[in-house]
Amino acid sequence: VSLEDHPFVTKLSTFMKLSAGDLKRLGSIFGTEKAIKKRKDLVVDGEEYRNLCLVRDGYALRYKLLRNGRRQILNILLPGDVIGFPVSFFDRSSYSVVALSDLTVNVCSIDAYVRLCLERPQFSLALTWLAIKEAAIYAERIVDIGRRTPIERLVHFLLELHSRLLTIGLAEKTTFKLPISQEIIADALGLSVPHLNRVMQHLRKEKFISNNSRVVEFFDIPALQTLAHYQPLTFTQIPLPRSGRSSA
Amino acid sequence: VSLEDHPFVTKLSTFMKLSAGDLKRLGSIFGTEKAIKKRKDLVVDGEEYRNLCLVRDGYALRYKLLRNGRRQILNILLPGDVIGFPVSFFDRSSYSVVALSDLTVNVCSIDAYVRLCLERPQFSLALTWLAIKEAAIYAERIVDIGRRTPIERLVHFLLELHSRLLTIGLAEKTTFKLPISQEIIADALGLSVPHLNRVMQHLRKEKFISNNSRVVEFFDIPALQTLAHYQPLTFTQIPLPRSGRSSA
DNA sequence: CGCCCCGTTGAAATGAGTCAAGCCTTGTGG
DNA sequence: CCACAAGGCTTGACTCATTTCAACGGGGCG
């Protein structure tokens, strides 16, 4: 199976070079493509899960449900993201993942990936970089929820989503499709649905954004970035030696 | 320099085996031990930082300061933790790190560590595991701040800190030294200081914990775990082949 | 001895949640 | 093709948890 056009590869390419041989090995591990139906649970809180699972197409949700029925959404998984962060590295999951839309994914066990890493260490570094990126996204969410006002929070969330969609080619410069309901945004930002709704209306009224039928448009990105204290971050390249020591 | 008794090594040992040769190579990279004064900035928001830096002794704080003067604390860095997550992997930092106490650290550049990884891939996997652990801590913090009540939040925070201190041998079964002020806890949990104070008093009054001169004692850990929805997590071992392929 | 940090307390103000209802849109089945 | 159902969006009124602001006390450190 060829992975060249896989959004995961697109993401990897932003911080490392992949040789044809690398791609082939990746393909040999992530060969099987799997279709998942909307609403299907991929990971269940409390159960064991030990795979890397790459989203090729569609959206998913990583979340935790508390006893009192409250839900906190940790992240929205886009094409190229890894289902299995961070749960595959613990004896059992503490989060759930559910498909938001119909999904196609490529699955590979942790064990198989580790074997690949021992053979080609750059893949292990790639995994580190991805885990770090995940941590960085979470860190910004903490700041969002902990100390930013609801308006700032929402804007920050939208800017981040836009930026992530851009890197996998699923957004325009000032516009993108927002594939999620307000309930989901509220649960991601630690707000109630009515309040989120009012904040959204405020943003529309003040002409910061428009938002019709799940398409968001930013009217003044620099202003929004300032408002939300948004700092676009660029990854460093993995500092691999320039020699061909790791080619096929 | 010998690292055998370094809390970082203690942490690594919980999920991988380190040969004598591994330790020696690690020592060759993290050789220099550095003393840092209390209150000294280690990482500054907006500047470049590109080191792994291991805390051997003392405490530090990773935080972000917003324009309006609000501060969100991302994590409290304990002995064995890595200063440089996640900022060393981006072109410039978006967080600051400051020493909470006098500190001794071992520093190593990212480049040097990556060279080590290419030579011994298991170190690269170790870094992945650590990054994942960091992400998992952040994830729980998101749930804390987003959807747990202030009491749950505080208890969860204390349990987690206790568990982290236990793995590096700095806590007793039901007791530990809490090296931080209420202002810091408040900024970590997204609460105001007066309110955190009242929540703390509540916990004491209800005989859940005692807390004198920065020593915390838990009276009924299972009850506290239930109260806070706390799920202790155990890391999986890195699934390295049992053969000695990676020995010195 | 005095200062400063830290913990503590109180009163008042408010932002955000809750509950409940209505409407609009989308998808679906007859 | 229409009718209905279901989910998602919007609105309002009310409540109260939490913040804010301000002041005080104690204890350790210089």
Q: Cβ contact (<8 Å) for A67 and B229?
A: yes
CA distances from B85 to A117, A167, B54 (A): 21, 22, 11
With 0-12 / 13-18 / 19 or more C-beta atoms within 10 angstroms meaning exposed / middle / buried, residue A248 is exposed
Closest CA to A136 of B226, B194, B64: B64
- Residue B140, pLDDT > 50, answer yes
pLDDT at position A75: 97
Decide: B88 and B49 in contact? Cβ < 8 Å.
yes
With 0-12 / 13-18 / 19 or more C-beta atoms within 10 angstroms meaning exposed / middle / buried, residue A242 is exposed
Number of Cβ atoms within 10 Å of the Cβ of A179: 16
Q: What is the spatial distance between Cα A61 and Cα A2, in angstroms, rounded to a whole number?
A: 26
pLDDT at position A241: 82
Place of tokens 């007791």: B175
Q: What is the pLDDT of residues A20-41, one digit of tens each?
A: 999 999 999 997 899 999 999 9
B179 Cβ within 7 A of any nucleic strand D atom: no
Looking at CA atoms only, how far is residue A8 from chain B in angstroms? 17
Q: What is the pLDDT of residues A212-245, one digit of tens each?
A: 889 999 999 999 999 999 999 898 999 988 754 4
Q: Cβ contact (<8 Å) for B118 and A122?
A: yes
Looking at CA atoms only, how far is residue A131 from chain B in angstroms? 6
Interval B39-62 mean pLDDT: 96
Q: How many Cα atoms occupy the beta-carbon half-sphere of B241 within 13 Å?
A: 14
B190 Cβ within 7 A of any nucleic strand D atom: yes
Low-confidence winner among A131-145, B8-22, B208-222, B233-247 (lowest mean pLDDT): B233-247
pLDDT bucket at B49, cuts 50 / 70 / 90: very high
Instruction: For residue A180, give the nucleotide whose C1' atom is nearest its CA.
Output: D8
- Residue B1, pLDDT > 70, answer no
Structure token pair of residue A107: 């699955």
- Residue B246, pLDDT > 80, answer no
> CA A176: distance to chain centroid?
15
Question: Nearest residue on chain A to B118, judged by CA atoms?
Answer: A121
pLDDT bucket at B247, cuts 50 / 70 / 90: very low
Sign, CA dihedral A129-A135-A138-A139, equals: negative
pLDDT bucket at B50, cuts 50 / 70 / 90: very high
Q: Cβ contact (<8 Å) for B147 and A110?
A: no
A152 Cβ within 7 A of any nucleic strand C atom: no
Q: What's the mean per-residue pLDDT of chain A?
A: 93
Number of Cβ atoms within 10 Å of the Cβ of A10: 15
Dmax of chain B from CA atoms?
Answer: 57
Instruction: For residue A184, give the nucleotide whose C1' atom is nearest its CA.
Output: D8
Interval B44-48 mean pLDDT: 96
Spell out a b/e string for A19-51, using b for 16 or more CB atoms within 10 Å of the CB, else e.
eeebbebbbebbeeeeebeeeeebbebeeebbb
- Residue B248, pLDDT > 60, answer no
- Residue B46, pLDDT > 60, answer yes
Q: What is the pLDDT of residues A31-82, one digit of tens each?
A: 789 999 999 999 999 999 999 999 999 999 999 999 889 999 999 999 999 9
* Percent of chain A whose pLDDT exceeds 90: 88
pLDDT bucket at B243, cuts 50 / 70 / 90: low
pLDDT at position B75: 97
pLDDT at position A115: 95
SS (H, E, C) chain A: CCCCCCHHHHHHHCCCCCCHHHHHHHHHHCCCEEEECCCCEEECCCCCCCEEEEEEECCEEEEEECCCCCEEEEEEECCCCEECECHHHECCCCCEEEECCCEEEEEEEHHHHHHHHHHCHHHHHHHHHHHHHHHHHHHHHHHHHHHCCHHHHHHHHHHHHHHHHHHCCCECCCEEECCCCHHHHHHHHCCCHHHHHHHHHHHHHCCCEEEECCEEEECCHHHHHHHHCCCCCCECCCCCCCCCCCCC
Q: What's the mean per-residue pLDDT of chain B?
A: 93
Q: What is the spatial distance between Cα B152 and Cα B27, in angstroms, rounded to a whole number?
A: 41
Residue with CA nearest to C6's C1' atom? B181
pLDDT at position B185: 98
Strand D proximal residues, A:75-104, Cβ < 7 Å:
none
pLDDT at position A195: 98
pLDDT bucket at A247, cuts 50 / 70 / 90: very low
Q: What is the spatial distance between Cα B180 and Cα B94, in angstroms, rounded to a whole number?
A: 23
pLDDT bucket at A248, cuts 50 / 70 / 90: very low
pLDDT at position A32: 83
Interval B54-72 mean pLDDT: 95
Q: Cβ contact (<8 Å) for B66 and A141?
A: no
